[in-house]
């Protein structure tokens, strides 16, 4: 499982770079003093934690029976979705810039996965 750990670390690093790119791209629209950056950081943190939980669930499910693994993965999927929803609702209460920032932060991990596939020459 060392490959999964190195992949996870690489994705988290690429996600941080994607977050920086998203923030720099938002500067002309949101400005420096906007709540976009706190929302982005919150979204990135939740996305990184979610990706970590996903990797741990994958590792653990490989040692389970098929039916037990399906239930375990489904339970973890629902918990991760609830976490995303709670973070988005919290940031929405702070205002639209924070909500947009948290959505961008949540997307950092997805952008990092695509970037990793492109950099390593894998087909998406």
- Contacts of residue 74, defined as CB under 8 A and 6 or more positions apart, other chains included, come to none
Q: What is the mean pLDDT of residues 24-29?
A: 87
Boundaries of domain holding 67: 2-119
Residue 124 lies in a domain: no
Say if residues 104 and 22 touch (Cβ distance below 8 Å): yes
pTM tops 0.95: no
Residue 32 lies in a domain: yes
Say if residues 112 and 9 touch (Cβ distance below 8 Å): no
What pLDDT score was predicted for residue 7?
Answer: 85
Q: What is the mean pLDDT of residues 15-36?
A: 87
Residue 112 lies in a domain: yes
The values of phi and psi at residue 115, to 5°, are -65, -40
H-type alpha helices, the chain: 2-30, 36-61, 66-94, 96-119
35 three-class SS: coil
- Number of domains the chain contains: 1
């Amino acid at each position: 499982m060392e490959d999964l750990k190195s992949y996870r670390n690489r994705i988290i690093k690429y996600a941080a770079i994607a977050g920086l790119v998203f923030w720099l791209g938002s500067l002309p629209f949101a400005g420096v003093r906007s709540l976009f950056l706190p929302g982005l950081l919150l979204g990135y943190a939740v996305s990184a934690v979610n990706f970590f939980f996903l990797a741990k669930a994958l590792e653990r499910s490989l040692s389970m029976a098929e039916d037990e693994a399906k239930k375990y993965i489904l339970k973890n999927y629902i918990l991760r979705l609830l976490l995303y929803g709670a973070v988005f609702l919290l940031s929405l209460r702070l205002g639209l810039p924070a909500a947009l920032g948290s959505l961008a932060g949540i997307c950092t991990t997805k952008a990092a996965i695509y970037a990793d596939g492109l950099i390593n020459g894998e087909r998406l």
